Structure 1
Amino acid sequence: MPFTPADLVIENVSVITMDRQFPFANGVAVVNGKIAALLTNNEQKWPIKPGGMRVNGEGMTLLPGLIDAHCHLRAQTSMNLAVPCSRNKINSIEEIILAIREHAKRLPTGTWIRATGYDPFFLTENRHPNRWDLDKAAPNHPVRLRHITRHASVLNSAALALSGIGPNSSDPPGMRVDRDPKTGKPTGIVYGGDTWLSQYVIPPITASELQNGANHLLNGLLKKGITAVQDATPTNTLDDLEFWAARIQQDNWPISIQMMANEHNHMPMARHLAEELPAGISKRLEMGSLKVVLEALPELYPSIQELSRIAVEATGRNVPIAVHVVDPEMVWAATEAIRSARERHPKNNIRHRLEHLSLCPEAFLPEISALGIIVVTNPSLIYDHGDRYLIDVDPLEHEWLYRMNSLLSENITLAAGSDAPVATFDPWIGMKTACTRTSFSGRTIGPAEKLNRWQALEMYTTGAALAGGWKKVRGMIHPGYQADLILLDQNPLTCTLEALSSINVHAAWSAGNLVYHR
């Protein structure tokens, strides 16, 4: 049977296919953006179309493009435009004040100032900044300073006034306002309420600012071998959908994007994508799960009843839900809601997701497995925030932190996301951390949850593909799959563990098109 001439042949490479049935090969042939065949030896010469490309991989390693199963594109883009207050930039509240003050000098009075990334654990004062600290920095500008986790913010007096938060105000939905116990006056620290602030108080970043930030982000993602992302931002709107559609149309953005949204925005966005945007957009932009963020303030929000309603209705529409769960009560609520959805729609086989699963007792694992729930974990959070977890989390619960190996032992599908910008989007740091379970300072967290190299790679390839409903689409080098490919200078299965986090991507292809070259 004659071979179909290829548009692209990559030969003389060590191919790691991520297919357990046929894990290795020596080259690939690509036709019309998809894998046509695997080459089984270096002597095999696949025919090329006129104008096609034959690439000599020079013995390097070829992998399927990596997938970030949980990130926040707008937040990562806007973080690059905000005043950076992370530990590698700032060591004290005084330095935060100085950084914001310098930024304020360049802005007209009344302009919102966005600052982000502070972590009290790494500040000299070992406390949150407050409204009075930020007032020193910018008394004539409203300021919002976001915690590194994005689940807390600090507002100065001008920002509190614009938010309508005062001594006698009620806390907005999903938010707990920290107050002076004697006077009831807000300290400026608010827990939760990220959606409320973004939708009703703080004006969005301009499209031109976002576009510049997106171009910067694109190069950073491709440089690390990421060819597809699942944007887990609950506050995504039609504007975000239009923005990323424009990047695909105008800038030929090559990374596939799957967008989540909350209950109110998911259906209008899905309808707009299907009916209003050009058909070709759907090859690189699609709607993913319906995102639900659970908060404990101190009661669960939304309630178990409301969460169950959301799960049942979404399942009825064949839409998976992705539930943010960070403590045992949230895990229980999410599994109960998904159980309700399964009972109401027993013939619907969509797979729902738990995002983070930060603290999970072992007793929950059989139920998660039985319900076919996919867990999207975040090894980068162990690296970036593990030192704080070891202090903030009860020592008896350390073994519950970001389980990995125990999930696989219960046959639970496991995917990995960066949660960027809360943690680094570098997947190689994530893989190394999954194998070593070590924090930034080198402390070990939950050593029983270590993975081997193959398992760590699966989280960013086949596991992440399953989490996005991309089975038989991407995540594997296999005939018929999209030719998203990355060429590496080292083999992640055989290099030293230390070298795993510093692997270099020499080239990346999206649907067979070269989109990055080092």
Structure 2
Amino acid sequence: MQADIVLRNGPIWCGRQEGVVEALAIWQGRVLAAGADREVSTLVGPSTRIIDLDGRLATPGLNDSHLHLISLGLMMDWVDAKPTTVSTLDGLLSSIRERASRSRPGEWILARGYDQTKLDVQRHPHRSELDRAAPDNPVMLVRTCGHVSICNSRALQLAGIDESSASPPGGLIEQQNGRLTGLLAENARAPVWAVIPSPDEEQLVAAIERGGRHLLSYGITSCMDAAVGQRGGFGEISAYHRAKREGRLPVRTWLTLLGDPDRSIVPQCYEAGLITGTGDDMLMIGAVKLFLDGSAGGRTAWMSRPYLGEDRTTGVQMMPDETVNELVMDAHVKGYQLACHAIGDAAIEQLIAAYERALEAHPDPDRRHRIEHSGFSTPEQHARMVAAGIYPCPQQVFIYDFGDAYISVLGEERALGSYPFKTWMDLGLKPATGSDAPVCEPNPFPNFYAMLTRKTWKGTLMDVSERVSIEEALQAYTEFGAFSQKLEHVKGRLVPGQLADVAVFSRNLLTASADDILDNTRCDLTIRGGAIVHDRHGVA
């Protein structure tokens, strides 16, 4: 037997227990052998392709265990309002004004990525400012978290929102001095989304392809789409299958089904026989997703104690206990894994209680229900998670991107220990990690940096006791990502029989400084299923 591909002449990290080997052989899309170069050399034949690592590190392909692939692809065409692109309010408004100048009157202007804590004015943009920037177009500007939007007057008018509109349950329509500010949070945004033209199937497939290729450029070969149905309803399922059929699905994708009331695609999926585990190595039905609260930086994550500020808000509770209990029980009984959004400790409490109730009524010790984000969980909640087999699925890049915002809205006492990664590791809760893209860029290097240093983008040091080693960080991005999807025997390590998904980085992450990982590291090569799908230098 001869290998199709052999990687050699550089460290190859195969997994936390397996450690580093000298060479890796790939055959028919799977790992054939990993070990000493002299052993793997026996598998080299006339047609074997040799990849010289030249000292670079190879690892299992990364698994972004929580992002929104369709949204990522769609929003790559939106106005880029991220702080790294525009750090001032004037700059943000100029970007919107420039897009409006190239758009037809009445055409929607969509923008995403601003963070009021990073803008020079330290506040949200106002409706009137968007009015002046684009007087002839409806505008929706989405905060980086995706849970808060600012709309101009034309957008609000199209959505039927005015000063007489009451905030809906689980939402906020902000007014100041009896006038709309344009800020809508959580469920209050639904009327706006309802009047924005929905993407057609070709646009959805194009977004899947565009976003997936972007992931491959970072060494990400697997991902979870965290709310399938959010933009295109059940049609997103069709779009994913079409993308796969036409060879336009770049990354292995685990589909988490939107299950919120009035928007759920779970009934249609269940009727079609699409339950957790249905599919194959490229496209699989994953969990059911419910949103229980919002974001901490947007002050909508549901907390047991108030945020800082005069309003004394505790965030937004999206659904009452009885609704959450009913929806969780229904999905659990139908055989679904659940992966529900809960950031604040009050939302986490509500979710754990619902999971415990379902597991007690219908025991399944390996269902692996997940808490997405789980940012402000408590020691008492951790003990219950361990006992019930409930797993956190955080995004450690939030520490880098939003740690300072957490401090500003919650204070140091509550913010510094958020996203307690080392604690979860030590408890055996196998935390995966991801980006929540487009909330954050899917770039893995700030994520690694945050896990290693617990530093924010400004250099603020969060709780250092929650730092982990580079080996633990890699394990979270590979093995634990697969575990979170109940696929740890299929992918996540470079061992014989597992999928040959490989990322090759421009430097050895195992020995590089955290600063070099953040600023001076790239993904040079990505292999998915034994095929080269990204080659930064075009020379592999």
Is the 2:338–2:370 Cα contact (8 Å) retained in structure 1? yes
Counterpart of 1:392 (choices 385, 401, 409) is 409
Q: Any idea what SS the aligned residue of 1:46 has?
A: helix
- Letter paired with 2:347: M
Query: Which residue does the alignment assign to 1:14?
Result: 11
Greater CA deviation, 463-472 or 385-394?
385-394
2:497 matches 1:480: yes
| Aligned counterparts of 2:48 and 2:139: Cα–Cα separation in 1 | 54
Q: Deviations over 1:384-413 (max 9, x none)?
A: 122222222222212431111111222212
**Aligned residue number for residue 140 of structure 1:** 136
C-alpha change, 1:87 and 1:59, in structure 2 (3 Å) is: closer
Instruction: Give the equivalent residue in structure 2 for 1:222.
Output: 216
1:119-145, Cα deviation, whole Å (9 max, x unpaired): 111222222112211111122211111
Closer, same or farther: CA 218–164 of 1 in aligned 2, 3 Å: same
> What is the letter of the counterpart of residue 286 of structure 2?
G
Alignment partner, residue 100 of structure 2: 104
The equivalent of 1:284 in structure 2 is: 282
Relative to structure 1, the CA distance from residue 225 to residue 267 in structure 2 (aligned partners, 3 Å threshold; closer, same or farther) is farther
- Rate the CA distance shift 1:235–1:248 in 2: closer, same or farther, 3 A: closer
Question: Within 2, Cα distance between the matches of 1:165 and 1:423?
Answer: 29
Deviates further, 299-308 or 38-47: 38-47
Give per-residue Cα distances to partners, 1:453-503, cap 9 Å, x unaligned.
111111100111111221111111111111101222322222222222232
User: Is 1:34–2:24 an aligned residue pair?
Assistant: no
Map of 1:414 onto structure 2: 431
CA distance in 1 between counterparts of 2:190 and 2:196 reads 9
Asked if residue 463 in structure 1 is aligned to residue 480 in structure 2, the reply is yes
C-alpha distance in 2 between matches for 1:379 and 1:244: 28
Counterpart AA for 2:5: L
What TM-score, normalized by structure 2, do the two folds share? 0.88
Other structure's SS at 2:149 match: strand
Among residues 52, 65, 69, which one is paired with 2:65 in the alignment?
69
User: Cα–Cα, structure 1 residues 346 and 206, in superposed 2: closer, same or farther, change >3 Å?
Assistant: closer
In the alignment, is the contact (CA less than 8 A) between 2:31 and 2:495 conserved in 1? yes
Deviation at 1:24, TM superposition (A): 2.4
Q: How does 1:305-316 map to 2 (within 5 A)?
A: 305-316=322-333
**Kindly tell me: are residues 350 and 413 of structure 1, through their superposed partners in 2, closer, same or farther at Cα, counting changes over 3 Å?**
same
Structure 2 CA distance for partners of 1:462 and 1:447, relative to 1, 3 Å? same
May I ask how many residue pairs the two structures share in their alignment? 508
Is 2:111 the counterpart of 1:115?
yes
2 CA distance for matches of 1:128 and 1:59? 47
Deviation by residue 1:357-397 (Cα, 9 ceiling, x = unmatched): 12122222111111111211111111112222222222221
CA distance in 2, matches of 1:229, 1:378: 13
Q: Aligned partners of 2:395, 2:76: CA distance in 1, in Å?
A: 21
Question: CA 1:267–1:61 in structure 2 vs 1: closer, same or farther (change >3 Å)?
Answer: farther
Task: Mark the CA change 1:322 to 1:33 in structure 2 (over 3 Å): closer, same or farther.
Answer: same
Task: Give the residue type in structure 2 aligned to 1:171.
Answer: S
Letter in 2 for 1:203: P
Residue type at the aligned position of 1:423: C
- Residue 323 of structure 1: how far off its partner (Å): 1.5
Counterpart position of 2:421: 404
Which residue is equivalent to 2:149? 153
Change (3 A) 1:151 1:11: same
Check if 1:176 corresponds to 2:193: no
Q: Within 2, Cα distance between the matches of 1:158 and 1:77?
A: 26
8 Å CA contact 1:19–1:478 kept in 2: the answer is no
More displaced stretch, 375-384 vs 213-222: 213-222
Contact 2:167–2:188 (CA<8 Å) still a contact in 1? no
Query: Residue 266 of structure 1 aligns to which amino acid in structure 2?
Result: V
% identity of equivalent residues: 25
2:52 alignment counterpart: 56
Q: How does 1:266-345 map to 2 (within 5 A)?
A: 266-269=266-269, 282-295=280-293, 296=302, 300-345=317-362
Per the alignment, residue 196 of structure 2 pairs with: 202
Aligned twin of 1:365: 382
Q: Secondary structure at the match of 1:89?
A: coil
Q: Name the structure 2 match of 1:192.
A: 186
> Displacement, 1:213?
5.2
8 Å CA contact 2:433, 2:476 repeated in 1 = yes
Q: How far is the alpha carbon of 1:215 from its aligned partner?
A: 4.8
Unaligned segments of structure 2, at least 5 residues:
294-301, 303-313
Higher deviation after alignment, 403-412 or 199-208: 199-208
SS at match of 2:182: strand
| Secondary structure, counterpart of 1:312 in structure 2 | helix
Q: What are the superposed Cα offsets for residues 293-313 of structure 1, whole Å, 9 maximum, x if unpaired? A: 112486622112211222222
Aligned partners of 1:128, 1:19: CA distance in 2, in Å?
Answer: 44
- The answer to whether the 8 Å contact 1:12/1:42 transfers is no
With 258-267 and 193-202 compared, the bigger mean Cα shift is at: 193-202
| Separation in 2, partners of 1:319, 1:91 | 42
Question: Per the alignment, in what secondary structure is the counterpart of residue 233 of structure 1?
Answer: strand
Aligned equivalents of 1:447, 1:130: Cα separation in 2: 37
Call closer, same or farther: CA 1:127–1:58 in 2, change over 3 Å.
Answer: closer
Aligned partner of residue 15 in structure 2, secondary structure: coil
What amino acid is the match of 1:79? M
Shift of residue 214 of structure 1?
4.9
